[in-house]
Structure 1
Amino acid sequence: MRLIDELKRRNVFRIAGTYCVVTFAFIELVPNLVDAFGLPAWSTTFVFLMLALGFPIVILVTWAFEMTPEGLRRTEDVDQHRKVILSSAKLGDYALLVAIIAAVGYMSYTVNMREGGSQMAGMPVINTVAVLPFANLSVEPEQEGMSRAITSDVRNRLAKVASLKVVAGPASQKPGDDEDIHAIGKKLDAPVVLDGSVQRSGAKLRVMAQLIDTENGVQLWSKTFDREMADMLVVQDDLAQSIVDDVRKIIMPPAVSDAEAQDAGSQANKLLNSGRSGLAQRTEASLVAATSAFEQAIMRDPKSAPAHAALAEALLLQGRTWETYGQMPLADAVARARPFANKALELDPKLADARAVSGLIDLASGNTAAAIASLAKAVEQKPDLAKARLWLYQAYAATGRFDEGVDQLRKAHELDPTSLAIGLNMALFLALSDHRLEADMLLDRLDALYPDNENLLAARGARLADDWRPADAIQLLGRANKANPADERVRSMIGLAYLDLGAASEAAQWLDARDMVLLAQGRPADALAEARKRFAADPADQARVFALADAEAAAGHSKAAAALLSPFEALSNDGTGPLYGRSPLAMPALTLAGARLALGDTAGARPLLEGARTWLARQRAMGFEHPKLVYLEARIDALDGKQDDAMDALRRAVSQRFAGVSVVGWDPALASLRARPDYVSLVADLDSDRLRRRARLKDMGLLASL
């Protein structure tokens, strides 16, 4: 007790407390000064050590000296019974006590903020990321290609994230082993790097990815992804997208100012409206931007059912099909979209938009019955929801119920005449119904609303090609291709336009299916070899099966063609099913019928021909009247032995500006007509017309040679 009393008398406790408060203040202040003056990172540690070393010195000085009315004196020189009492001593004690309590409270507050409050404050804005090559940890060195493919896919997908700059591939090659993460970040000018590894063992694949802060080496995020190896491309797409989705959540920069972000609900609505404008454009870039906007809206308002429904729509429309607008595998697009549609319905079961997009996902998945049920329910909930009626039309069309579907399409167009998606579907319907002038007028009106839109350019180019104006079509389709070079639909339309003109070399540059070009050139053996090669690469692709059957039939291999198509007969009946679902120019049912006739199986061919006539009659009953349908009539009659009727239909198709003239010369269905003088004369006239059109194309600089 005497020691404690002596410490109190000599003010050791008071000075120690004061020193701790001052030290704490310095510790909080120094990091800001280091950043402000650009001092080295070790400066903070140095100051802390100096303050720690100073503590015992201050305590020793306080013990050895005392403050007296006459000033500072050594303790042994001061009367031990004389107690120093300053007028402010008690006040100082209270002030010190308050300061210590405040310091402890502030320390607790800052620790809590650092540990738990960081989620409220969010990550600092990160605008640049470098993707380092994923290391191959597999035993087999040939798996290095898989590591490079995943790295490239992740890098390309991150590059599509709005407001994020990704360091180009060559710049972010694997650094040397002696480079630390800080040096890598400085060299690449990237605040964060994404690194990882790929390891395969038998049928199992493990990918580890991590996001590292290059300033301090802190790991911001890491995750291990395990997958079963089935289809390598599907697994690669899934892994890359999963990594990008997680990384985007960590580094997504805010798209709004701090002042606007104070009102989360209002800002979420602004982002929702911004994303909807991207949806309306229906381009791949606008859909990516819309996805980002919807994700940010959900971050600000996680209970927004409309934002979840809109995000599901944006993700689904990025699938790679003829009806959607992106390059994502459709299965991936469906898998990514469905959880958000389900969440939207969970948040608001009465939201018609959520019900509608759920139906669209079912349609994309091939479940047309569920799609029709959901979309009909959405229309019932909200009769003026135009897009629900559009998708219901598409669902009805997928099941051959055009009469019901067309009513929905017309109503959708009445409700929203400015919608690009609805307008494009309406224009196509009008053109197929032989209302070509109305279709062109509608496309012109849309062009005023959506100038230079790549989808509209493609639709207008397709209309010109369909109207047998290939030179003008190629010009417009070329502009669409320039806007989006990855769109396979546009490339195919350009290739087919060149092919109809007889420009085989140009067509081969645009068409992946070279067997079509070789058939048009009268080279069935070469076409068959190409078709077999494409089929071997993906035997499960139904389109490649049908293309191979066409090539086998054109080469005179009727038995092989019949063997390829016969399995589909059980799935097709009365003009419906896969044998009847393609273009009138390439209906597999007629290829199978022709093969059976060549093999002497007239009875086996008869139901197929009747099914084709039923399909044709159904199209005309729904109001469709198009030169392609007239050409289909010629094919059916030729196979049915009605040569005069076939020639009459063929002349009518050509007089109505039939665009698919490249098939007339080699079509196996027309084989029975080739010895007729009127058929030979018609083909010669077509060839002369194509030559004149090629000359015009050459004058326009769109053709290398005649």
Structure 2
Amino acid sequence: MFKTFVSEVRRRNVLPTLLPYVGLVWLLLQVVSVIQPMLNMHQLVGTFVAIVLFAGFPVVAYLSWYFNFTWDGLEPIPDLESGAPSRFGKRNWLGLTAIVLLSGWLGFVYFNEVKQDLVKQEEGIRQVKSATSIAVLPFRDLSPDQDQAFITEGLTEELTSLLGKVSELNVAAASSTFALAKRDLTPVDIGRRLQVDTIVTGSLRVTGNRLKIRTELIDSGDGMTLWTETFNREFKDIFAVEEEISRSIVNLLEDRYLEAGEVTSAAKTAVTDAYVMYLKGREQYRLQTTEGMKQARKYFEQAIALDPEYALAYVGNADTLLMLEKGSENFGILETDVAIALADNSLAKAITRDSTIAEAYAIMGRSFQMQGNLDEALSAYDKAIGINQSLAKAYLWKYLILSELNRQSEAFESLEYAYSLDPISLAVLHNRAYELSRLGRNEESAILYSQVIKDFPQSPLGYAGLADLHFLQGELAESLSFWRKAFVLSPENEFYQKSYIGTLITLGFVEEAKNLTDDPFYEATFLLAGKRYETLFKVVDEQIASYPDDPWVKFEAAWYQSLVGDRALSSQIFVDAFPLFNEEELYAMPMCSPAIEIAWAFKYSNQIDKSKEILSKCESLYVEAKNSGMQDNFVDHLGARIAALKNQPNAAAQQLKKAIKNGWREWWTGQDPIFSELKTIEEIESLINLIEQKLEEEKEKARLILHSSDKQQPAE
């Protein structure tokens, strides 16, 4: 084979053709090297000529296999067997085209790399560190009156956003850097807390219409300064400075080069005053108060009035409008439909003017989410993440939807990414601690909740989280203590009040619970706890008469009947309520309730096929929850109820035992109609007695807590 190839090379005169070409290349390169400096040609001229000549070598080699190069042109080489000139057919042309394209592409790539290296040398920029993550700290305000914080914080946010869009770095969320910067930590300490490789810090001084920005890039491992630059510009040039800083950082930390003009700030506007109004709006937004949100809206509207084409101002306005919706905690002043309509209108104007703003799609997703359009919301969040892979809030909001859709593994993955970007966020910390508890990682969960209390001492979320964690572990007395602390910090919060009252009722402290509320919401619960069943059933019958199409009113009535009343009537009410629930309500996890109770009702009324259909769906969700790694006594209890409805007493007992071990303490377990046929089984009966025993133990502990003189009583 090799001898044949060598023989063909000789016959086709390949080497006699290539050697003159090599000589020609050498000669031309010598000529270029001489005339380039004489004529003051650009440095890249010689490189370009060399690349073209070298790229031509494989083309000449390919052609020399089929043709002799003569002064009269290309002569086809005769075929070895027939002696006739070889035909240069379609396949040969395809081969030649492929070689030309490949050689040209390789030459282009190499030329581009040489060009980038040359530009880096001219700019004095080279890669100083291979990094995967970065945080932008708030710039220090060195202005004479120290009144330009809204500009320094805006600069921090914009650099964070720009780096998230144009770099391949994981960029820590600005909210985390703001939170840590308030604690007088050094930049290196902040970098280590955020677990980033590098930090951007600096200072800003505004004097009249002039600004001076000094920027430093620091290695968070050893604190060494990797790069520093000072910019003295007019204030209107702040966008160009932001773009230049971002471009320089990418070129310093990544093995690629961004040319001038490749980075564009979304905050750019032709009207400087509009930008000032936008920054003041962001300053008010960060206060996270109703008053701040209202003021932020005014500033964003002023920015739009000054520059009707200012896309980012429309985005800020839309975000604020949704935060002012009545369903939003602390900020609600607008009706939901009004807030959504106004926000959607503002978003449409923003995207028409600039379709590359990641925050616009994230807020659009939130609008869809508020309207219940979860698929559209997920699509919008993915669009936002596609533009800015470091947009932490998009990952957090995506997690909330995926959780609602029972896509637990995907939800936790999204939450973990949000945590990696925004580890000081109150919402991210709280939700991550909650998910860790659901996965049975209770120690890690407790550490995170304690971190929330340390980082945000005035927030009730850390105490509420620990209360929920202890409740899930069956430590009801400890749970009661933490619910009370959360309630003291936020006495107007209905959820904390209901959780505190609910725990009191579970522990049997009904009178103490009554002293905390006169809300008619608790009337039926208090009647049940007080064993005033006749009055209880009159109340729920009146509620059904008043709200005949409310599925939850019927469910509550059916549930009370199933526990302490007429189970035949209970099953009928459950069946009547069934068509009134939507799919998401019906199969809500982790208890698959009210579907599991309705499955019992269909079984009780001998509609076995319908019962099995509903039960099968609950079983699928149960398996999915277990496969996702969820360690939750509610899920274990669901497994026990599924086994009971399938007439599998041994499996039901094992699952109930596991649920109790993991913290199941509900007082109504012994009256649960689903277990009614199994109560005569000795193991089931002993497990129900065990629940009652553990409840008594927790009640004694709680009594000490309630009567402890050093505990503050919650406000009514």
TM-score (normalizing by structure 2): 0.54
**What is the distance in 2 between the residues matched to 1:637 and 1:524?**
30
351-360 or 312-321: which moved more? 312-321
Corresponding residue of 2:585: 578
Corresponding residue of 1:628: 634
Corresponding residue of 2:176: none
Corresponding residue of 2:367: 361
1:298-313 alignment runs, 5 A limit:
298-302=301-305, 303=308, 304-313=310-319
Q: What is the Cα deviation at residue 477 of structure 1?
A: 2.9
Corresponding residue of 2:603: 597
**What is the distance in 2 between the residues matched to 1:547 and 1:277?**
41
Corresponding residue of 2:201: none
1:191-230 alignment runs, 5 A limit:
none
Deviations 1:546-592 (A, max 9, x none): 323322433224355445445646977xxx643211551x7111211
**AA paired with 2:295?**
S
Q: What is the Cα deviation at residue 362 of structure 1?
A: 0.5
Corresponding residue of 2:351: 345
**AA paired with 2:443?**
L
Give yes or no for contact 1:359–1:370 (8 Å, CA) kept in 2: yes
Structure 2 residue 294 is the aligned partner of structure 1 residue 291: yes
Structure 2 residue 430 is the aligned partner of structure 1 residue 424: yes
Corresponding residue of 1:662: 667
Q: What is the Cα deviation at residue 632 of structure 1?
A: 1.4
Give yes or no for contact 1:559–1:595 (8 Å, CA) kept in 2: no
Q: What is the Cα deviation at residue 336 of structure 1?
A: 5.0
**What is the distance in 2 between the residues matched to 1:325 and 1:426?**
22
**What is the distance in 2 between the residues matched to 1:325 and 1:582?**
27
**AA paired with 1:664?**
T
Q: What is the Cα deviation at residue 672 of structure 1?
A: 2.4
Which of 644, 649, 666 is matched with 2:650 structurally? Answer: 644
**AA paired with 2:280?**
L
Q: CA distance change for structure 1 residues 635 and 330 in 2, over 3 Å: closer, same or farther? A: farther
Q: What is the Cα deviation at residue 594 of structure 1?
A: 1.7
Corresponding residue of 1:470: 476
**AA paired with 1:579?**
L
Give yes or no for contact 1:327–1:486 (8 Å, CA) kept in 2: no
**What is the distance in 1 between the residues matched to 2:508 and 2:633?**
20
Corresponding residue of 2:509: 503
Q: What is the Cα deviation at residue 345 of structure 1?
A: 2.9
Give yes or no for contact 2:399–2:411 (8 Å, CA) kept in 1: yes
**What is the distance in 2 between the residues matched to 1:634 and 1:502?**
25
Q: What is the Cα deviation at residue 482 of structure 1?
A: 3.9
Q: What is the Cα deviation at residue 629 of structure 1?
A: 1.0
Give yes or no for contact 2:541–2:557 (8 Å, CA) kept in 1: yes
SS in 1 for 2:433: helix
Q: CA distance change for structure 1 residues 661 and 342 in 2, over 3 Å: closer, same or farther? A: same
Give yes or no for contact 1:317–1:325 (8 Å, CA) kept in 2: no
Deviations 1:635-683 (A, max 9, x none): 222232223332332222222222x523324322222243444245324
1:547-586 alignment runs, 5 A limit:
547-554=556-563, 555-559=565-569, 561-565=571-575, 568=578, 577-584=584-591
**What is the distance in 2 between the residues matched to 1:476 and 1:662?**
21
Q: CA distance change for structure 1 residues 288 and 683 in 2, over 3 Å: closer, same or farther? A: same
Give yes or no for contact 1:697–1:703 (8 Å, CA) kept in 2: no
**What is the distance in 2 between the residues matched to 1:524 and 1:635?**
25
Q: CA distance change for structure 1 residues 467 and 547 in 2, over 3 Å: closer, same or farther? A: same
Q: What is the Cα deviation at residue 378 of structure 1?
A: 0.9
**AA paired with 1:295?**
K
Deviations 1:215-239 (A, max 9, x none): xxxxxxxxxxxxxxxxxxxxxxxxx
Q: CA distance change for structure 1 residues 563 and 665 in 2, over 3 Å: closer, same or farther? A: closer
Give yes or no for contact 1:275–1:289 (8 Å, CA) kept in 2: yes
Give yes or no for contact 2:472–2:662 (8 Å, CA) kept in 1: no
**What is the distance in 2 between the residues matched to 1:352 and 1:565?**
47
Q: CA distance change for structure 1 residues 314 and 694 in 2, over 3 Å: closer, same or farther? A: same
**What is the distance in 2 between the residues matched to 1:332 and 1:626?**
39
Q: CA distance change for structure 1 residues 336 and 403 in 2, over 3 Å: closer, same or farther? A: same
**What is the distance in 2 between the residues matched to 1:530 and 1:580?**
27
Give yes or no for contact 1:271–1:294 (8 Å, CA) kept in 2: no
**AA paired with 2:484?**
G
Higher relative contact order (CA 8 A, sep 6+): 2
Deviations 1:603-648 (A, max 9, x none): 3322222222111111111121111111111222223222333233
Corresponding residue of 1:386: 392
**What is the distance in 2 between the residues matched to 1:532 and 1:538?**
10
Q: What is the Cα deviation at residue 438 of structure 1?
A: 1.2
Runs of 5+ consecutive residues of structure 1 not aligned to the other structure: 1-261, 280-285
1:150-549 alignment runs, 5 A limit:
264-265=273-274, 267-279=276-288, 286-302=289-305, 303=308, 304-319=310-325, 324=329, 330-331=336-337, 333-508=339-514, 509-510=516-517, 512-549=521-558
**AA paired with 2:453?**
D
**AA paired with 1:378?**
A
Give yes or no for contact 1:309–1:354 (8 Å, CA) kept in 2: yes
- Identity fraction in percent: 20
Corresponding residue of 2:700: 692
Give yes or no for contact 1:503–1:694 (8 Å, CA) kept in 2: no
**What is the distance in 2 between the residues matched to 1:580 and 1:340?**
36
**What is the distance in 2 between the residues matched to 1:604 and 1:635?**
17
Report which of the two structures shows the higher radius of gyration computed on alpha carbons: 1
**What is the distance in 1 between the residues matched to 2:341 and 2:460?**
27
Runs of 5+ consecutive residues of structure 2 not aligned to the other structure: 1-270
**What is the distance in 2 between the residues matched to 1:331 and 1:537?**
26
Q: CA distance change for structure 1 residues 507 and 339 in 2, over 3 Å: closer, same or farther? A: farther
Give yes or no for contact 1:520–1:663 (8 Å, CA) kept in 2: no
Q: What is the Cα deviation at residue 533 of structure 1?
A: 3.9
Give yes or no for contact 1:432–1:626 (8 Å, CA) kept in 2: yes
SS in 2 for 1:350: coil
**What is the distance in 2 between the residues matched to 1:332 and 1:457?**
34
**What is the distance in 2 between the residues matched to 1:703 and 1:536?**
42
**What is the distance in 2 between the residues matched to 1:434 and 1:693?**
24
Corresponding residue of 1:231: none
Q: CA distance change for structure 1 residues 379 and 428 in 2, over 3 Å: closer, same or farther? A: same
**What is the distance in 1 between the residues matched to 2:349 and 2:508?**
53
TM-score (normalizing by structure 1): 0.55
SS in 1 for 2:492: coil
Give yes or no for contact 1:271–1:293 (8 Å, CA) kept in 2: yes
Q: What is the Cα deviation at residue 335 of structure 1?
A: 4.3
Deviations 1:426-454 (A, max 9, x none): 11111111111111212222333222113
Deviations 1:376-416 (A, max 9, x none): 11111111111011112222233333333322221111111
Q: CA distance change for structure 1 residues 516 and 638 in 2, over 3 Å: closer, same or farther? A: farther
Q: CA distance change for structure 1 residues 474 and 570 in 2, over 3 Å: closer, same or farther? A: closer
**What is the distance in 2 between the residues matched to 1:703 and 1:543?**
36
Give yes or no for contact 2:323–2:331 (8 Å, CA) kept in 1: yes
Aligned length: 431
SS in 1 for 2:466: helix
387-396 or 551-560: which moved more? 551-560
Structure 2 residue 619 is the aligned partner of structure 1 residue 613: yes
SS in 2 for 1:278: coil
Q: What is the Cα deviation at residue 324 of structure 1?
A: 5.0
